[in-house]
Amino acid sequence: MTVHIGAKLGDIAETVLLPGDPYRAKWAAETFLEDAKLVNEVRGMLGFTGMWKGNRVTIHGSGMGMPSLSIYVNELIKDYDAKTLIRIGSCGGMRDKVAVRDVILATATTTLSTPSRGIFKELQFAPTCDWDLLHNAFHAAEAKGVPTHVGGIYSADVFYDERPDLNEQMTRHGILGVEMEAAELYTLAARYNRRALAVLTVSDHLLTGEALPSEDRERSFGDMVEIALEAAFA
């Protein structure tokens, strides 16, 4: 048990999927895991552990933004020895070739700041994903016929962004999409020698203004969860 996670030792699996929304964690656990058990509800941040195709998995909310994710990932790694951590979440598309409902597999993340910035000081650390997870996820998406893009993303500090000039530079330099957590996840995974990947569903588009209707989100997010699970255990 930690300050923010009420699970007992042994309640958390070595493989953890991390949606931002705790209720999305609940939905994913009930939909994809067998014998899913609630292992955490401290501060309303729900976590569940169950089985997927004979493999033990925890699906745990991480909250919104890098500071929140940093708390949970630090504790999951240092106190519960999580070894594989996969973010499953939504993102905004930033390129013409990226469509709503597509999946983005993030190779690397660009950011203005992370909770780890104080460690690096003047160094611009480039956090990247785990190659094996990326490889497995791409082939899982390909087998499912899900339109998938592999490349860099932007992990933003704010949701209500007022820097259109910055977004233009992200697009100009090939960034596929924007979200708010992956940069810190990849940094912590590098620090503690763990595997990490962000599997993201494009739920809206910064260039076109298109957004995924709420009734379609569950089906599209389901593809993302299955891709993440296949990646972890391929």
Per residue in 20-33, pLDDT tens? 999 999 999 999 99
pTM for this structure?
0.95
Q: What is the band of 213 on the pLDDT scale with cuts at 50, 70, 90?
A: confident
Residues flagged as binding site for a purine D-ribonucleoside: 4, 179-181, 203-204
Q: What is the band of 218 on the pLDDT scale with cuts at 50, 70, 90?
A: low
Classify residue 209 as exposed, middle or buried by CB count within 10 Å of its CB (0-12, 13-18, 19+). exposed
Q: What is the identity of the amino acid at 104?
A: I
Contact 221, 87 (CB under 8 A): no
Q: Which of 79, 157, 161, 204 is catalytic?
A: 204
Per residue in 98-138, pLDDT tens? 999 999 999 999 999 899 988 998 898 999 999 999 999 99
Q: What are the structure tokens assigned to 233, written together?
A: 């255990």
The class (CATH top level) of 15-233 is alpha beta
Picking from 42, 59, 61, the residue whose alpha carbon sits closest to that of residue 4 is: 42
Q: What is the band of 201 on the pLDDT scale with cuts at 50, 70, 90?
A: very high
Residue 204 known to be catalytic: yes
Query: Please, what is the average pLDDT of the chain?
Result: 95
What integer pLDDT is reported at residue 225 of this predicted model? 97
Q: Rounded CA gap, 185 and 168, in Å?
A: 25
Q: What is the band of 164 on the pLDDT scale with cuts at 50, 70, 90?
A: confident
Picking from 115, 113, 60, the residue whose alpha carbon sits closest to that of residue 87 is: 60
Residues flagged as binding site for phosphate: 20, 24, 43, 87-90
Give the residue ranges of DSSP H helices in 81-121: 117-120
Picking from 121, 129, 124, the residue whose alpha carbon sits closest to that of residue 111 is: 124
Residues flagged as binding site: 4, 20, 24, 43, 87-90, 179-181, 203-204
What integer pLDDT is reported at residue 219 of this predicted model? 67
Q: What is the band of 90 on the pLDDT scale with cuts at 50, 70, 90?
A: very high
